[in-house]
Amino acid sequence: MGTSGGALAGSFLFLDDVDTADVAAFLAECATDSRAGGLAGMFRIREYVDEAITRYASGDAHARLSGRMTASVTALRAAWPPLRNTRVSSFPSARSLRETMLASANAAPLA
């Protein structure tokens, strides 16, 4: 199970065709870019996560990760309590995987 960046990192470890050295280099680029952007750089987390998913998650990643990986996300609800932790381990489509990873790595108000 992973939360925040851990869910994204865990998903790449389950996908055996991902070059972890390339992911590490991408993360270093993101860190450099974020620092160079000053305060505004901190608000680009969602952009970095989205780019990582685009680069490294193949078209069938959702099928390969379903049932093998669990991501923790916090859902905002109209009911009480307004925040509720949800664990997601089924990804019926590439879009559902992307949305789960983005939600898991969301750091409001930074994302």
SS3 label, residue 81:
coil
Q: How confident is the model at residue 92 (pLDDT cuts 50, 70, 90)?
A: very high
- pLDDT, position 65: 94
Q: How confident is the model at residue 1 (pLDDT cuts 50, 70, 90)?
A: very low
- How is residue 11 written in tokens? 């998903």
For 20-51, give one letter per residue: b (16+ CB within 10 A) or e: eeebeebeeebeeebeeeeeebeebbeebbee
Tell me, what DSSP letter sits at residue 52? H
Q: Which tens digit of pLDDT belongs to each residue from 48-75? A: 889 999 999 889 999 999 999 999 888 8
